[in-house]
Amino acid sequence: MPSSTAPAMSRPRELVFYTLVLMAFLAASGVPTPLYQLYQSSWDFSTSMLTLVFASYLFALLLTLLFTGALSDYLGRRPVIAAGLVIELASMGCFLMASDLGWLFAARILQGMATGVVTSALSAALMDSDHQRGPVMASVAPMIGMGLGALGASVLVAGAPWPMRLVYVVMLVIFAWQVLGLGRMSESVTRRPGALASMTPRARVPAVVLPTFVRTMPANVAAWALGGFSLSLGPALAEQVAGFHSALMGGLPACILSVMGGISVWRFRRFTIRTILLLSSTLLPAGLVLVLISVHLHSLALLIIGYSVAGLGFGSGFMGALRAVMPLAPAGERSSLMAVFYVVSYLSASLPALAAGVATQRLGLEATVYVYGAFVMALSLSVLISVLRRPMTTCTAA
> For the chain, what are the domain ranges?
1-201, 205-398
pLDDT of residue 57: 92
Nearest-CA neighbor of 257 among 375, 360, 149?
149
Question: Phi, psi at residue 132, to the nearest 5°?
Answer: -100, -50
Taking CA atoms, 11 is separated from 6, 73, 126, in Å, by 10, 19, 9
pLDDT value of position 113: 96
What local confidence, expressed as pLDDT, does residue 392 receive?
Answer: 65
Span 10-45, pLDDT tens digits: 688 899 999 999 999 999 998 998 888 889 888 988
Is residue 352 within 8 A of residue 236, CB to CB? The reply is no
- What does the alpha-carbon distance between residue 344 and residue 109 come to, in Å, rounded to a whole number? 19
Q: pLDDT tens, 228-267?
A: 898 888 888 998 898 877 777 778 888 999 999 999 998 9
Tell me if the domain spanning 205-398 has CATH number 3.40.50.12640.
no
Query: Is the fold of 1-201 the same as that of 205-398?
Result: yes
Closest CA to 313 of 290, 293, 297, 334: 290
pLDDT of residue 105: 95
**Predicted local confidence at residue 10, as pLDDT:** 67
Indicate the range of 127-131, 298-302, 354-358, 392-396 predicted with least confidence.
Answer: 392-396
- Of 102-111, 231-240, 332-341, the poorest mean pLDDT is in 332-341
Q: How far apart are CA 256 and CA 241, in angstroms?
A: 16
- The dihedral of CA 37, 43, 44, 50: what is its sign? negative
Task: Using pLDDT thresholds of 50, 70 and 90, give the confidence band for residue 331.
Answer: low
State the Cα torsion 164-110-252-288 to the nearest 10°. Answer: 150
First to last CA, the chain: 23
Asked if residue 67 has pLDDT above 70, the reply is yes
What percent of the chain shows pLDDT beyond 90?
47
Reported confidence tier of residue 343, pLDDT bands at 50, 70, 90: confident
Answer yes or no: are the C-beta atoms of 3 and 189 closer than 8 Å. yes
| Mean pLDDT to the nearest integer, 332-354 | 82
Residue type, 184: R
Q: Which of 133-147, 265-279, 355-369 has the lowest mean pLDDT?
A: 133-147
Fold classification of 1-201 (topology level) = Growth Hormone; Chain: A; (1.20.1250)
- List pLDDT tens digits, range 112-131: 999 999 988 898 888 888 87
